[in-house]
Amino acid sequence: MSAVDATLRLVLGDQLSDTLSSLGDIDLARDVVLMAEVMDEATYVAHHKQKFVLVFSAMRQFAERLRSRGVDVRYVRLGDPRAAASLNGEVLRALEAGAFSRVVVTEPGEWRLAAAFEDLAHIAPVPIEVRPDTRFICSRARFEAWAEGRAEWRMEFFYREMRRLTGLLMENGKPVGGRWNFDPENRKRPPKTLLPPPRTSIEPNRATRDALIEMAARFPDNFGALERFGYPTNREEAETVLADFLEHGLPLFGDYQDFMRAGEPFMWHGHISAAMNLGLLDPLQVCRRAEAEWRAGRAPLNAVEGFIRQIIGWREYVRGIYWLRGPDYKRLNALGADRALPWFYWSGETDMACVADVVATTRDHAYAHHIQRLMVTGQFAMLLGVHPDAINDWYMVVYADAYEWVELPNTHGMATFADGGIVGSKPYAASGAYINRMSDYCAGCGYDVKDRLGARACPFNALYWDFLIRHEALLARNPRMAMPYRGLGAMSAAERDAIVAKADATRTAFGATVRSP
């Protein structure tokens, strides 16, 4: 073999896994792994400060991990004066610097980069081989085959296929416990005296401490605070967080997964999405560990099934939808939403106790749990009529686990119905009563959750009914919306007018004005 048979292997910032397909057949004697911190990735959205620290600290440690195994790593740091702005630029620079016969990369997590790698293939002097991302349980081809010929792509049916495929919580081809889904048991309100388990916040290691100082200086104006950074940045630290969750969080994960408590960001949730999306935890292994907790009698089935469903169900499903629907998915705006995002989504300065708490948590931890993202910030933006681009941008910016393959279908599909029903069969629209039932926010809020039209009426209430009025033509025939539309039907014309006026005044007061095109 000549030197020219060497392969350049590009590893992206969210591909920090020992089992990565692009590394599988590495030749330690010849090949070079390229990892590059580049401005294009740092700026295509204005990431939360904690996401920078997380990604760059984790990338740097992964490079060292590879080196310790004898891999020749070409690592380019942000700020290197020779560095190119883009990943493609770095690949071309590496190809100029060494003799390689091909470039191998695992498929990226966003259309944006998939298109960039296609462009690269046209200009690079050697072939570019893009390999499937085998860290996901369902390949893109398998998801396409599942979706083919189905009128609706509901997660629940996809999830059952994933249970059969993985054998998780299955016995003799049937779901353990006789049911696929234990969600009806998972909507409880914890007693006030029951405190969520204390969380393992990882003490920043050397690489993370350096990144904390560097990123604070590089990106001082980005959203978010760094003081409470506690993310795991390597595989061992991620294992510690997972073990802590399995022991202390999982047993009650199911019961209280939909509940929100002021000042308690993590409740009984895993707080593992950022590590999993980077590749520090393997999703199937995480699920097998959770299943083992049930088999050992340490966690009940409703918790373990609910948790596993989030990963082999929702996580795999949203990725499948993202790739299946293509880059145009992002441009859907089924509800014709055209408003600006209120400034308090960034500042947290609002009298709405629920929104203020979720924004504060988001600022301090680059995290909020699912129901906070869905039913507080997400659906409130939908009720206001905020343009999908503004909402997507916010979700991409503010969370440490944000990558478009997972953020977009959740935001566009689940939280705001901008996709018109591809992900969800109906919008997740609710009045303040829902938040009152599923949180302790309203008791400490300046607004009155029981009031619809008064000066201190909970803003969700008029906006909810106004939402039903505005989208009557689209939604009233949806069988799953029959109940709310019966409620609306019982209102007088004067009541409806008063709701519309109150909702308009709320939009104006909150700065949710019509965006210029």
Residues in the site for ligand SF4, rule: CB under 6 A?
Answer: 352-354, 432, 435-436, 441-442, 445, 447, 449, 458-460
Give me the least distance between CB of 431 and ligand SF4, in Å please: 8
What is the CA 403 to chain-centroid distance, rounded?
A: 7
Nearer to ligand DLZ, 158 or 405 (CB): 405
Q: What are the tokens at 159?
A: 């999830």
Q: Does 75 bind ligand FAD (CB under 6 A)?
A: no
Q: Please say which residue, 44 or 485, places its beta carbon nearer to ligand FAD.
A: 44
The answer to whether 94 and 102 are in contact (CB under 8 A) is no
H or E element in which residue 72 lies? strand 72-76
Query: At what angle are helices 87-97 and 111-123 packed, to 10 degrees?
Result: 30
Closest CA to 311 of 170, 173, 135: 135
Sites for ligand FAD among residues 351-370 (CB under 6 A): 369-370
CA torsion through residues 341, 346, 349, 350, sign: positive
Question: How far, in Å, CA of 507 to CA of 513, rounded?
Answer: 7
What's the start-to-end Cα distance of the chain, in Å? 58
Written as six digits, the tokens of 74 are 């070409």
329 binds ligand FAD (CB under 6 A): no
Q: Transcribe 308-371 into DSSP letters.
A: HIIIIIIIHHHHHHHHHH-GGGGG--TT---BPPPTHHHH---S-HHHHHHHHHHHHHS---HH
Q: Give whichever of 128 and 299 is closer to ligand DLZ, judged by the CB atom.
A: 128
CB 90 within 8 A of CB 3: no
Q: For residues 391 and 341, is the Cβ–Cβ distance under 8 A?
A: yes
The residue among 45 and 463 lying less far from ligand FAD, judged by its C-beta, is 45
Pairing status of strand 128-131 against strand 102-106: parallel
378 binds, among ligand FAD, ligand DLZ, ligand SF4, none (CB under 5 to 8 A by kind): ligand FAD
The answer to whether residue 290 forms part of the interface with ligand DLZ (CB under 6 A) is no
Closest separation between CB of residue 286 and ligand FAD, Å? 8
CB nearer to ligand FAD: pick between 414 and 462: 414
CB of 517 to ligand FAD, least distance (A): 24
Among positions 57, 186, 273, 350, the unique one binding ligand FAD when judged by CB under 6 A: 273
Q: Is residue 311 involved in binding ligand FAD (CB under 6 A)? A: yes
**Pick 100 or 279: Cβ nearer ligand FAD:** 279
Residues 93-122, interacting with ligand DLZ (CB under 6 A): 108-110, 113
Closest approach of Cβ 322 to ligand SF4, in Å? 31
Nearest 5°: phi and psi at 36? -140, 130
DSSP-based three-state secondary structure for 448: strand
Q: Does 58 bind ligand DLZ (CB under 6 A)?
A: no
- Selection from ligand FAD, ligand DLZ, ligand SF4, none that 91 binds (CB < 5 to 8 A by kind) is none
Phi, psi of 211 (to 5 degrees): -65, -35
Instruction: For ligand DLZ, give the closer residue by CB, 219 or 256.
Output: 219
Contact of residue 445 among ligand SF4, ligand FAD, ligand DLZ, none (CB under 5-8 Å per partner type): ligand SF4
Tokens found for residue 122: 């046209």
- Residues 375-414, one symbol each (x = binds ligand DLZ by CB under 6 A, - = not), give ----------------------------x-----------
> What one-letter code names the amino acid at 71?
V
Q: What is the 3-state secondary structure (H, E, C) of 139-203?
A: CHHHHHHHHCCCCCCCHHHHHHHHHHHHCCCEECCEEHHHCCCCHHHCCCCCCCCCCCCCCCCCC
Q: Taking contact as CB under 6 A, which single stretch among the options 74-82, 205-213, 307-315, 504-512 is the one that binds ligand FAD?
A: 307-315
Q: Site for ligand DLZ (CB under 6 A): how many residues? A: 17
* Calpha distance 105→122 (Å, rounded): 16
Burial class (CB in 10 A: 0-12, 13-18, 19+), 473: exposed
Q: Where does this chain touch ligand DLZ (CB under 6 A) — which range of 30-38, 165-173, 239-247, 283-291?
A: 30-38
Quick one: which of 211, 252, 276, 503 contacts ligand FAD (CB under 6 A)? 276
Does the footprint of ligand FAD cover residue 410 (CB under 6 A)?
Answer: yes
Distance CA 219, CA 47 (A): 9
Least distance to ligand FAD, CB of residue 401, Å: 4
The partner in contact with residue 406, picked from ligand DLZ, ligand FAD, ligand SF4, none with C-beta cut-offs of 5 to 8 angstroms by kind, is ligand FAD
Residue 458: name its binding partner from ligand SF4, ligand DLZ, ligand FAD, none (Cβ under 5 to 8 Å by kind). Answer: ligand SF4
Query: Which residue number, 181 or 310, has a Cβ lying nearer to ligand FAD?
Result: 310
Q: Are 310 and 162 in contact (CB under 8 A)?
A: no
Residue 279 as a binder of ligand DLZ (CB under 6 A): the answer is no
Run of H or E residues at 10: strand 7-10
> Which residues sit at the interface with ligand FAD, rule CB under 6 A?
269-273, 276-277, 307, 310-311, 314-315, 318, 369-370, 373-374, 378, 395, 399, 401-402, 406-407, 410-411, 414-415
> Which residues sit at the interface with ligand DLZ, rule CB under 6 A?
12-14, 36-38, 41-42, 47, 52, 55, 87, 108-110, 113, 403
